[in-house]
Amino acid sequence: MRKAIKTAAICGIIIIAWGIFSFLSQIIFLGFGLHKASISFSIFTGIILSVTSILFYHGFFIMGRRYNADFLKGVSVYLMFFCILMLLVSIPLIFYAKNTYSSFDVKGAREKLEKINITYGGWENVPREVMETEFKNIFSPLLWVIGLMIIFYIFLFLFYGIPKILFGAGLLKIGKKVEYARITGILNIVAGATMIIFIGYFIFLVAFIFEIVLLFAEANKNKIKKNKK
């Protein structure tokens, strides 16, 4: 039990470290135009984060079993399944977004816009119908990507943000038994509730750090109890 909780805590550190590494790598890939490498690395990152996230929430499932917290166990199981769902949803989105971005001709779009500007002697003279048609032809692929990102954002709020509120409530229920559980639970509830206005993502980061600290504290507590015996 202690080993599983400690493994979960270590996975939490791996998630943060790999997330930072992945972000910096994507900047390099896109900066050098390595779009295929970017797609492959994104999928590999998704697999790494999914596996470590499952092990991470498994630690909370073990804690829920230890303290007879069925609610926390149930939400933890859901979050483990969500990690798999997230990977399955993300892969096609990654392919579509990356391919659309790489195929978008920035230079060609600029030339078309300049040609329209010259043809009508300034943007103020361009008929509205022409403007709408040309912009739709030029930017429609990117608009599709933006639309998918908005849908994905709503998907995250419904299937991750709201369950994290429940996860926080589950942590509050064991707040008197587990160190840092109360503050971690409150942070998860606030983060989940404010995720729709984006600020929740920053609060989630703080909550995630507290979750790692909580897991390490619980693992060490079990070690102390074992040594006393």
Residue 20, judged by CB atoms within 10 A of its CB (0-12, 13-18, 19+), counts as exposed
pTM, to two decimals: 0.83
Length of the chain measured in residues: 229
Summarize pLDDT for 114-123 with one digit per residue, the tens: 887 788 887 7
Return the pLDDT at 146: 80
Half-sphere exposure of 65 (CA within 13 A, CB side): 12
CA pair distance 163, 72, nearest whole angstrom: 11
Mean pLDDT over 146-175 rounds to 92
CB count, 10 Å around CB of 226? 9
Burial class (CB in 10 A: 0-12, 13-18, 19+), 125: exposed
Instruction: Report the 10 Å Cβ neighbour count for 8.
Output: 28
C-alpha distance from residue 96 to each of 46, 47, 200, 214 (Å): 15, 18, 27, 38
pLDDT at 51: 97
Kindly report, residue by residue over 58-72, the tens digit of the pLDDT: 999 999 999 999 999
SS3 26: helix
Residue 216 has pLDDT above 80, yes or no: yes
d(CA 186, CA 138): 46
